[in-house]
Each structure stands twice: as C-alpha cells, then as structure tokens.
C-alpha cells in the first residue's frame, strides 16, 4: 500500500518527559500549534473536551501483543489493537483531554496522555455523539488500590465534573465494592444509592449503571446520609458513611473508620 506522510501541526509541552512517568489519567500540558495552523483553532474554545491525536515518537513499533503492565503486570496479554498501549505499528496517540483555555497558538489542557516533545497530528472536538455511557470493555483491574482509585476518580470526575467530597466518598465505596464483588461495569452488578445527588452521580459515573435496560441503578435522595447497597449473584454489600468527615479524613482513613460495612 501507498505510504502516508504526515506533518505535525504542533507539539506538546509538559513537565512529564518520559512515557514511564505518565500518570494513567494523563497530565496537564500545553499544546503549541505551529503558526501556519493557528487559523484552524477558531471556535475551538466552545468545547470543554478535545481529542488529541499525536505521534508517540518514543514507542516501539514492532510489538503486536503486550501485557498492560502499567495498570497491572499480572494481567494476560492482549493484541495492541485491543488496548491503548503506546507500543503499536503506527504509534498514533489518541487522548481525550479537558480544554482549559486557548491563548494565541497555545492550547492549555488537562488529562492529556502525551509527554513533552510529542508531535501533535490533529485535534478534533469531543461531541455528545461520542459518548457511549456503558460500553463493554475488558476487565483491566489496577494492580493496587492507588491505581484503581486513580482510574475511578477520573471516571467519577468525567461524569460529575465537580471535585466534591462526595466524589471521594463514592470512590472509597466503589473500591470496597470492587474488592468484594468484582468488575463494577458489569450487567450483573446492581447498586442502590441513598444520599446526596453528588454521590449518586459519582457512583453512576464509576459503575456505568443505568436505571433500566438492564436495571442496575437506583437512587433515593437523602442529604442526611451516604449509603450504597451493592449486589451481584446473590451476594450483597451495604456501605454506610459513619459521620460527615472532612475531605482529608475521607482520603486518609481506613475503611472501617469511615464506613459501616455489612456483607450478606
């Protein structure tokens, strides 16, 4: 087949300079657009999120199967087309970033998965039509709590778009539920939330559970408590927040100090 020649339209500037140092949720960065392409930015600031297609210039191109070791080295091998691993024949990076602001030829973003110096090939807006609320995906479980919490925090924030205390409560509850009941975006897993709307939103964002088809999510508004009841295949787990703790307390406390946990 014919060769394709691409010219970068810009470059990423970021404090993160090595692929191994890139956090799983991406990082803050500035995309510097080359002067001849600045006209192509008109209207871009109307979007809250953009797709950034880049060229992973440091990626190996001769690997077709790989273990997603950054998330968990104990997982099985996948073909690179079934993963977002940066090693691939054409190392095109696809990253959904939050657009903070545009100043001249500079695009300030959050959550970009591309290190400093990465050539940028294209930028496209993220549209509502891109959203699949509850896709089927492989169970790529993070190797430890820190990684799993990072993934869940991003899921909750992307859905809820507020970094509120209930987001941290939701993540802590979801971590416990995942450890007991397995993959949270699963048709067999149901969750009922009694609590503030923020908690309901964040739990829904993490679990991708819908009110119907299938029935997986129930919500009862209650500003005086935070409770989630999880069930799967005859097993059930109830997690209730004990007090109204400070944010730092939510982050640092042990499960048993923070919650009353009942298993059935």
Q: Could you list the residues that contact Zn ion (CB under 5 A)?
A: 162, 164, 198
Q: How far is the CB of 200 from Zn ion (least distance, A)?
A: 10
Q: How far is the CB of 157 from Zn ion (least distance, A)?
A: 10
Residue with smaller CB distance to Zn ion, 98 or 113: 98
Residue with smaller CB distance to Zn ion, 157 or 217: 157
Half-sphere exposure of 175 (CA within 13 A, CB side): 22
Residue with smaller CB distance to Zn ion, 160 or 232: 160
**CA triple 48-22-132, angle to 5 deg:** 40
Half-sphere exposure of 118 (CA within 13 A, CB side): 32
Residue with smaller CB distance to Zn ion, 58 or 159: 159
Q: Are strands 27-33 and 106-112 parallel, antiparallel or unpaired?
A: antiparallel
Q: How far is the CB of 173 from Zn ion (least distance, A)?
A: 15
Q: How far is the CB of 221 from Zn ion (least distance, A)?
A: 14
Hey, which bits of 58-209 come out as E strands? 65-66, 78-79, 92-103, 106-112, 119-125, 190-195
Please report which residue ranges of the chain form alpha helices under DSSP H: 145-160, 165-181, 197-207, 247-252, 255-258
């Amino acid at each position: 087949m014919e060769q394709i020649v691409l010219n970068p339209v810009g470059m990423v500037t970021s404090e993160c300079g090595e692929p191994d140092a890139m956090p799983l949720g991406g990082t803050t960065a500035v995309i510097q657009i080359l002067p001849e392409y600045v006209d192509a930015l008109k209207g871009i600031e109307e979007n809250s999120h953009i797709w950034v297609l880049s060229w992973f210039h440091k990626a190996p191109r001769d690997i077709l199967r790989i273990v997603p070791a950054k998330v968990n080295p104990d997982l099985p091998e996948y073909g690179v087309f079934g993963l977002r691993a940066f090693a691939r024949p054409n190392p095109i990076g696809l990253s959904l970033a939050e657009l903070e602001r545009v100043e001249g030829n500079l695009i300030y973003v959050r959550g970009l998965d591309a290190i400093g110096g990465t050539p940028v090939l294209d930028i496209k807006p993220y549209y509502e039509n891109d959203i699949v609320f509850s896709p089927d995906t492989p169970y790529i479980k993070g190797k430890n709590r820190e990684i799993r919490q990072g993934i869940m925090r991003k899921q909750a924030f992307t859905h809820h778009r507020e970094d509120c205390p209930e987001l941290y409560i939701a993540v802590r509850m979801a971590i416990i539920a995942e450890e007991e009941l397995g993959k949270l975006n699963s048709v067999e897993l149901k969750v009922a939330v009694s609590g503030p709307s923020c908690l309901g939103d964040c739990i829904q964002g993490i679990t991708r559970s819908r009110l119907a088809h299938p029935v997986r999510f129930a919500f009862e508004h209650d500003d005086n408590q935070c409770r989630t009841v999880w069930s799967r295949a005859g097993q059930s787990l109830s997690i209730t927040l004990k007090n109204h703790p400070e944010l730092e307390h939510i982050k640092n406390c042990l499960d048993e100090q923070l919650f009353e946990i009942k298993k059935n």
